[in-house]
Amino acid sequence: AIGAFYAYILERSGKARITAVCRSNYDIVSRHGLEIVSDMVGLSAWKPSRVVRNVTDAADRKYRFVICAAKAVPDVVKTSDLLKPLFLSTQTFVLIQNGVNIHVDLQEACPEAHIITSCAWVDSTIIDGRKILQTGSNQLVSGLHRSGRKSDGVGEESLRVFHDMLNKGGGRSVITDDIVAARWHKVLWNAAISSVCTATRSPVCDLLCTESLPTMLPVLETLMKEVCAVAEQLADDAPAGVLEECLRQYSDSRTETPSTFKPSMLVDLEADRPMEVEVIVGNVVRAARSFGIATPR
């Protein structure tokens, strides 16, 4: 859903032609395209410039960017293995995925590549394989992973081009100089709220509604404090006040018919698909162990 939304945004800019790898919904998209229903950019019937069945079929030409918005599930398939056919097709990879340390295996497998990762603050859902429903605001926070090597300027230029296309298409892009801190900021939401939604089989509004909040607030606060303790060891600008920010944003957007948005982890559970547990929870716990930090919850 997020990949389809931002692919549309990029083509909407008039500066990009998209080759879309549609694995499960190839037949639907190649025949009928997609229906975009968005609070941010309105309604549109859209078909990518090119639609292919798999990554290998896409590896027949050069690309300015290879953008991966598939779920990060390294316990099923590593991102580097998924993208391997495209290693010779581009210098720049963009990972629009949840979790922390998601770029590491790709950087190790393709050390000369420039890797941008993006944190998507957007509610986007796919319905029946072709309707993309985007509600509320959207923001994509992106940054370059420098991997300790001397910059050749290509990665920075690619980041700027990507950012400009997104904004021209209505995507509300933000560039950060500290993508590590930005990813830990996002994983606070995922590791706490997404995980508890999944464990309780509840949409976000049920967790944060007036009736539930007195019970849920201490649970969420404690989970977030554990994540923050790890983030402080790794990020120059460790996240702070994120729970308060989440609650404020939810309160500001609350209406008589509050959103029934479900985090993707819960959606995957209900669909009996692999969940992003390793990159959202596992990588936090592994980082905590390396620093001797207790994360019992």
pLDDT in tens, 75-117: 999 999 999 999 999 999 999 999 999 999 999 999 999 999 9
If pLDDT is split at 50, 70 and 90, which confidence band does 125 have? Answer: confident
Range of lowest pLDDT (35-44, 110-119, 174-183, 207-216) = 207-216
If pLDDT is split at 50, 70 and 90, which confidence band does 294 have? Answer: very high
Q: What is the mean pLDDT of residues 165-190?
A: 93
pLDDT tens string 46-73? 999 999 999 999 999 999 999 999 999 9
If pLDDT is split at 50, 70 and 90, which confidence band does 123 have? Answer: confident
Looking at residue 240, its pLDDT comes to: 62
Instruction: Pull the structure tokens for residue 9.
Output: 């945004």
Q: What is the mean pLDDT of residues 281-287?
A: 95
CA distance 173 to 180: 17
If pLDDT is split at 50, 70 and 90, which confidence band does 124 have? Answer: confident
What separation in angstroms does the CA of 251 have from each of 11, 244, 254? 33, 10, 5
Looking at residue 262, its pLDDT comes to: 85
Looking at residue 214, its pLDDT comes to: 86
CA distance 81 to 96: 16
Looking at residue 233, its pLDDT comes to: 87
CA distance 247 to 40: 22
Looking at residue 232, its pLDDT comes to: 87
Question: Mean of the per-residue pLDDT values for the chain?
Answer: 90
CA distance 275 to 268: 6
Q: What is the mean pLDDT of residues 124-153?
A: 86
136 has a pLDDT exceeding 60: yes
204 has a pLDDT exceeding 90: no
DSSP assignment string, 8-35: HHHHHTTS---EEE-SSSHHHHHHH-EE
Could you tell me what percent of the chain has a pLDDT over 90? Answer: 71
